[in-house]
Amino acid sequence: MKHPILLFTVLLFMACSKNPSRQADPASTQVITSAIVGNWSGGLTCEDCAYITYQLTLSSDQSFNDKTVYHSSTPNVVENSGSWSFDNDSTILLNKKDENFNRWRVRNDHLLLVDKNGQITEGQNELVKSMPGENLSFWQKKLDKGIIFVAMGNEPSWSLTFYDDDRLVVSHMNRTSELIVNNPEKYATENGWTYSDTNDTELKVMVEKTSCTDQMSGEQFPYQVEVQTNDMDMKGCGKFLTDYRLHDIWALEELDTLTRKDLPATRPYIEIHLDDNRLMGNGGCNLINGDIEVRGHEISISPLISTRRYCPDQSIEDLFLRNFSEKTFQYEIENGFLTLFQGDKKVMAFRKID
């Protein structure tokens, strides 16, 4: 989201107003509107179906379009359009005949479903904004060329590029040629790892998983990086490149030896949020959530947390969680399918469903 801090500040001001029932002033609503306009999506809790996928588009002219898909043995699709407005502080009201999913609370970079009394509903009922398009194609092209990690620094300017063929390239404005190292040695550290090459360059690259701010742009990165050679010591920030197409909702199509025809209508689905490295979804009966870490073409799943509902047949969910939770995979995305591998073995496949 482009303005999370600004949005939070405005919402805090509105919440602390002496008269909370009044409408927000035009200047405040203009700031919030610019932050929430766009495409939102998420998976919602369903009492009488497997699960719901919901898409919402908010336009700057305060019109909206939404699409609700009720997933069951016979999926049902409901679409609406109309106008939206602010209903008191930080709550969006969708003006439509269908009162389902018509009130949403703005909270940082999420929309939370609220009931007619303004209370946040229980369950996984939140929407996330589609990732902004700026720079996505730029980084995607680099990923397609085999680049999986980049780092950079200033004063003087330098950059580091790591490829999926274990090739490491360092560029520096004071050097006439790039420093290229093939198959550097890698050592795990307490909070990251170190690359080294002792042949001719005495190169050492230290990567630490600690928040880092670029001094020139102010952009936040998840890694601090230090590059040492026999005549230079450079510090900066870095990040893994990820395939932005992961940021979507995916329904299970294949699992181990099972294919789509072997899976029930209430099959598992996952919702991947690259903006905050979270995963949500449904194992087929129970809600699931956890953290993810994406490194180039590799994705690691944290131990997943799930609800404990009674399920008449939990065999598919148990099999799915055994093969998915707390695992690391290589992934491929092609023709609307997300396929997960471990080595040469295909473990499972998902289909994009929104």
Residues 53-82 have pLDDT tens digits of 888 999 888 899 999 988 776 778 899 999
Q: Report CA-CA distances (Å) from 3 to 33, 88, 136, 245.
A: 11, 21, 18, 23
**Quick one: pLDDT at residue 18?**
38
Residue 98 to residue 102: CA distance in whole angstroms: 8
Q: Is 45 exposed, middle or buried (0-12, 13-18, 19+ CB in 10 A)?
A: middle
Q: Check if the beta carbon of residue 134 is closer than 8 Å to that of residue 145.
A: no
**234 in the same domain as 252:** no
Residue 248 to residue 353: CA distance in whole angstroms: 8
**Quick one: pLDDT at residue 104?**
94
**190 in the same domain as 104:** no
**Quick one: pLDDT at residue 35?**
74
Residue 102 to residue 104: CA distance in whole angstroms: 7
Number of domains in the chain: 3
**Quick one: pLDDT at residue 89?**
65
Residue written as token pair 């203009």: 30
Token pair of 350 as six digits: 């998902």
**Quick one: pLDDT at residue 12?**
41
**Quick one: pLDDT at residue 266?**
86
**Quick one: pLDDT at residue 135?**
60
Query: What is the pTM assigned to this prediction?
Result: 0.72
**How many CA atoms are closer than 13 Å to the CA of 46, on its beta-carbon side?**
22
In sequence order, what are the beta bridge partners of 34? none
Domain stops at, among 196, 217, 240: 240
Residue 41 to residue 275: CA distance in whole angstroms: 13
Domain around 212: 136-240
**How many CA atoms are closer than 13 Å to the CA of 82, on its beta-carbon side?**
14
**Quick one: pLDDT at residue 152?**
93
**Quick one: pLDDT at residue 2?**
43
Instruction: Enumerate residue ranges in the chain where pLDDT < 70.
Output: 1-34, 73, 89, 131-136, 198, 200-201, 354
Domain stops at, among 193, 209, 240: 240
Residue 209 to residue 258: CA distance in whole angstroms: 38
Domain stops at, among 96, 113, 129: 129
Here the CATH number for the domain that contains residue 320 is 2.40.128.270
